[in-house]
Amino acid sequence: MPDGAPAELLRSLAVLVEPPTAGHAAIVEALGLSGAASPGGYADVFAFQLYPYASVYLGAEGMLGGEARDRVAGLWRALGQKPPKEPDHLAALLGIYARIEDVMAHAGAAERALLVEGQRTLLAEHVAPWAFAWSERVAELSPEPYRGWAGLLVGTLRSEVERLGVADACTPRALEEVGPVRDPRTEGSEPFLSDLLAYARSGLVFTRADLAAVAAELDLGLRAGERRYALEHLLAQDPEGVLRTLAGKAATQAEGHEAREVWLGPTSGHFGARARGTERLLLELSTSVGEPAEAIP
């Protein structure tokens, strides 16, 4: 087990989740990745499919900002750093993690202990709960070098999870307080649509590509627009098929959470349970499509 975090590796991984510049080539090469970071590839992955912000995945709304971002900003302050404009961007999170490692090199024993705790909190509460599930989707959906990049990120973060004993950490209270996906039969369709796309509630990372795949599989029309808009119109065309297909995807992601629970701990278990709950709800809804229309989307 290494003594400290691989700060330089984390920094280089962080930089690649930012818009590519000519300078990225040297980093891609240093990381041994294939392909070239291109603006098109970057935009498709990080601007359209998989937004690299913790607040999108840890907030009850599944959107940028809000309390989830505030919580990250609070940790920045606790670490003696002024929060940047987007404190929850993955690049910033990995950057501060590496920075803590740098500072530790010159810290006394007491300060070092505090800094280690800071790293552990950052990882356990603001990165690990979403970054593994998210990275797997990046690896699944991206061209190189982002596919390889995602694999390296998973490997590096897992190494840190094990080094710092994150598996022993409880599920963050803030995540526990977020409810599951609300049942449209009792709460209406609007919350259901939003919740399904909110990772903190559903346990699922649903992308535009997922919706496109559903449309292709069921031979449905995919309306151009936000995910929620597209999903709404897919359900309008073939609710039973869409719900059933989505349930299948939920099962796949639930398996991913469950597999990680061994080394990632209760937080992964929490999301595994969420994903299974979402799967169950989707299946129930798919079988009740024949019931009164207002009960389902």
Partner 1 sequence: MTIDDLNRRVSAARDEVESRGETFYPGASRIHLAAFPPKERWNDWVELDSKAWPKRVEKRYMLVPTTCFNCESACGLLAYVDRDTLQVRKFEGNPEHPGSRGRNCAKGPATINQVTDPDRILYPLRRAGARGAGKWERVSWDEALDDIAGRIRRCLEEERHEQVMYHVGRPGEDGYTTRMLAAWGVDGHNSHTNVCSSGARSGYHWWMGMDRPSPDHANAKTILLVSSHLETGHYFNPHAQRIIEGKKAGAKLIVLDTRLSNTATHADHWLSPYPGSEPAIFLSIANWMIQHGRYDRDFVRRWWNWQEFMTEVHGESEASFERFEEVLRSMYADYTFDFAAAESGIPAERLEAVAAVVAGSGTRLATYNWRSAGSGNLGGWQVARTMTLLNALLGALATEGGTFPNSWNKFTPRPPRLPHQHPKRWSEVLWPDEYPLALMEMSFLMPHLMREQEAFVDVYFTRVYNPVWTNPDGFSWIEMLTDESKIGQHIAMTPTWNETAYFADYVLPMGHSSERHDLTSYEQYDGQWIGFRQPVLRAARERLGEDISDTRDVNPGEVWEENEFWIELTWRIDPDGSLGIRQFFESLDRPGEKMTVDEYYGWIFENSVPGLPEAAAAEGLTPLDYMRRYGAFEVSRNVGKVYEHPVPDSELEDVRVDEAGRVYTRAPVPPSPKAPGGTKIDPDDDGRRRVGVRVDGEIVKGWPTPTGKLEFWSRTLSDWGWPELATPTYVKSHVHRQNLDSDQMPLLTTFRVPVQIHTRSANSKWLDEIAHTNPLWIHPSDARRLGIDKTGDLVRVETEIGYFVLKAWITEGIRPGVAACSHHMGRWKPEGHQGQRIGMMTVALDQSGSEWGLERKAGGGPFASEDPDTLRVWWTDVGVHQNLTHPVHPDPVSGMHCWHQAVRITPARPGDSFGDVSVDTAKSKAVYEKWLEMTRAASRHSPDGTRRPWWMLRPVRPVREAYDLPDREPVGA
Choose between 156 and 237: whose C-beta lies nearer to partner 1. Answer: 156
Give yes or no for residue 234 binding partner 1 (CB under 8 A). no
Closest contact distance (angstroms) between CB of 99 and partner 1 is 5
Q: Is 200 in the site for partner 1 (CB under 8 A)?
A: no
Q: Which of 45, 50, 54, 94 binds partner 1 (CB under 8 A)?
A: 94
Residue closer to partner 1 (CB basis): 157 or 235? 157
Binding partner 1 (rule: CB under 8 A), the pick from 63, 64, 91, 174 is 91
- Between residues 33 and 247, which has the closer beta carbon with respect to partner 1? 33
Q: How far apart are CA 60 and CA 57, in angstroms?
A: 8
Quickly list DSSP for the chain.
Answer: --SS--HHHHHHHHHTTS---TTHHHHHHHTT--S---HHHHIIIIIII---BHHHHHSTT-SSSHHHHHHHHHHHHHTT----SSTTBHHHHHHHHHHHHHHHTT--HHHHHHHHHHHHHIIIIIIHHHHHHHHHHHHHH--TTHHHHHHHHHHHHHHHHHHHTGGGSPPPHHHHTS--PPPHHHH-HHHHHHHHT-HHHH-----HHHHHHHHHHHT----SS-HHHHHHHHHHH-HHHHHHHHHHHHHHHHHHHHHHHHHH-HHHHHHHHHHHHHHHHHHHHHHTTTS-GGG--
Rounded CA separation 19/30 (Å): 18
Stretch touching partner 1 by CB under 8 A, among 17-25, 109-117, 254-262, 289-297: 17-25
Would you give the distance in Å from CA 48 to the centre of its chain?
Answer: 14
Q: Is residue 34 at the binding interface for partner 1, with CB under 8 A as the rule? A: no
Q: Least distance in Å: CB of 108 to partner 1?
A: 13
CB of 81 to partner 1, least distance (A): 6
Q: How far apart are CA 101 and CA 156, in angstroms?
A: 14
When asked if residue 106 is in the footprint of partner 1 (CB under 8 A), the reply is: no
8 contacts partner 1 (rule: CB under 8 A):
yes
**Stretch near partner 1 under the rule CB under 8 A, chosen from 19-27, 107-115, 211-219, 235-243:** 19-27
By the rule CB under 8 A, 81 interacts with partner 1? yes
Q: What is the per-residue binding string for partner 1 in 134-173, x denoting contact by CB under 8 A?
A: ------------------x--xx--x--------------
Binding segment for partner 1 (CB under 8 A), chosen from 9-17, 42-50, 116-124, 193-201, is 9-17
Question: Does residue 95 belong to the site contacting partner 1 (CB under 8 A)?
Answer: yes
| Contact residues for partner 1, defined by CB under 8 A | 2, 6-9, 11-12, 14-15, 18, 21-24, 26-27, 29-32, 81-82, 84, 86, 89, 91-92, 94-96, 98-99, 152, 155-156, 159
